[in-house]
Structure 1
């Protein structure tokens, strides 16, 4: 495993973590848990759209690293890992979890933008 492989794996994890965070925060229960108020309809739509987009982007490093068939299976595994990481962070520290998700979005989109 070389450095590019490690970048692809980290991009997949960051994208799935942030995607799961967006989908979770689109739910009023979790949004209230983090921010102390209910989300507006616009926030809910934006978070759902961003979550789906981030999870779809997580497929790119997986397929690029392992090919189509194994990449899809690896993507499903990274979806599980990202969701587990998000649930653990949300239950432990809700507000810092949202901040780390925002940081993960920035890092992963920069990484995808430069080709990892």
Structure 2
């Protein structure tokens, strides 16, 4: 496998993991209140954010398994989720409003990576 496709697999996995962790954090009342003017997190949005977050984390596994074998892909996936979680926690701790902008940037990066890999 070439270095370009490995880098693409890692970046795709990371962007999906970051988006998943960001969605999971928005499914929590405290972090939702940090980013919005709403005092209360509606239960429908809570379910939406949590479902979206877990789905994105699961989808983050696909590119790394395609880049490596199943065993190595699982190890790399756990590492990418850990790095994404640390990044989300640091953003929430120091600049919570930046989480939404970084989410947009990560989504754009994912679209670019998807179109470049096709």
TM-score, normalization: structure 2? 0.87
Aligned to 2:28: 27
Q: CA deviation at 1:26?
A: 0.2
RMSD: 1.9
Structure with higher Rg: it is: 2
Unaligned runs of 5+ in 2: none
* Deviation by residue 1:32-68 (Cα, 9 ceiling, x = unmatched): 1111322211211111111011101100111111110
| Residue of structure 2 equivalent to 1:93 | 95
Kindly tell me the number of residue pairs found equivalent between the two proteins. Answer: 116
**1:11-36 CA distances to partner (integer Å, 9 max, x unpaired)?**
11111111001001100011011113
1:109 positional shift: 5.2
